[in-house]
Structure 1
């Protein structure tokens, strides 16, 4: 079982054995904007979901705190997200990046989520310490040092929505990790890059992660 360790602002270190890993999708707070995004993706060959928002179960071992993501080709990219981490006695909020195989995505979004890890930060906040102002928190992503995403958590369904979804599905248990879904890409950016960095920030503090992609050897056969 994959074990992650998160450092809290008070210096405490919290180990979490990942039992369930879940990816939110099409999780914008404005479902009108989500519908427009679904239509845009359909033009690129990405199949439309049967309902929104979506929740994709992912293999728990794909939750990683890593600085290197192996990839099979150049058409993969990350997505700036926040993540909920359920511990034995609390819920944490951290920064995350859902690395996705875009070539596989046209065959099935759920399949594409299994092709690369969900990268999580090594620092976290207690959700209770920031929840009342979570809409003010900002998410920023850089690909090869170019800003490609920038927004606030107000653009996404709030942590409270996903807490209730997890509770209703019997998944609000220690070891559950849920990624939020992502904010829009800025117009005209190149999302295919060798290095990725994501920051989740409040006026007082910030959580960040960074990793590079590493091409796998060419297959034989």
Structure 2
């Protein structure tokens, strides 16, 4: 199982072993935004979902805080997301951090769940306690860059709120220490090239000026034999 560690604004450090890793999908509050994301994926040959939002369980070892993501080919890319981290049994143990869901776009046309399993979920190394930002959650910004190009920018108001997912986790008996859930993403800017050799995603809190970032290089593995 993956072990991850977060630094909190109060100087505390929290460590946990990931036991359940979940990727939200098609999770925009606005159906127009959801339709835009479906259209983006349709351009890559990905069939539309039968219901929204979606929730894809993936292997817990895919949760990582790496700065290097090895890939097999040139058609993989990330997505700007936030993540809920259930670090303990109490309300103050629910953490909010930044995340980038790196996805194999070639495999995605055969199955979104398969493509999620083929790449890591890269998490930030810092986090906020959700209770400390809950009153201004919609104001928090989410921005992503593919290489040097800004590819996504929005606020958490565009996505289903953490409270929605916490209720769902509770209903399914998954609101337990070790669960990590990624939010799904916001639309990409029109006309941008999402395939790049590096990715960076940032959560920003306008009220405090604080930011949480995850960033990594994309490296090609050697060509296979056979």
CA distance in 2, matches of 1:73, 1:65: 22
Residue 25 (structure 2) pairs with residue 25 (structure 1): yes
Detail structure 1 runs of 4+ shifted over 6 Å in the superposition.
Answer: none
Residue 105 (structure 2) pairs with residue 102 (structure 1): yes
**Cα shift at 1:192:** 0.2
SS at match of 2:81: strand
SS at match of 1:70: strand
CA distance in 1, matches of 2:14, 2:146: 29
Matches within 5 A, 1:151-166: 151-166=154-169
User: Quick one: which of 217, 222, 225 aligns to 1:220?
Assistant: 225
SS at match of 1:47: coil
TM-score, normalised by the number of residues in structure 1 = 0.97
**Cα shift at 1:92:** 0.1
**Cα shift at 1:81:** 0.3
Cα distance, 1:40–1:139 mapped onto 2, change above 3 Å: closer
TM-score, normalised by the number of residues in structure 2 = 0.95
User: Quick one: which of 114, 117, 123 aligns to 2:117?
Assistant: 114
1:134 — aligned with what? 137
CA distance in 1, matches of 2:74, 2:145: 17
Structure 2: gaps spanning 5 or more residues = none
Cα distance, 1:114–1:36 mapped onto 2, change above 3 Å: same
1:57 — aligned with what? 57
User: Quick one: which of 141, 147, 151 aligns to 1:148?
Assistant: 151
| Superimposed CA distance per residue, residues 160-217 of structure 1 (whole angstroms, 9 cap, x where no aligned partner) | 0000011011110000000000011011111000011110000211100110011011
SS at match of 1:123: coil
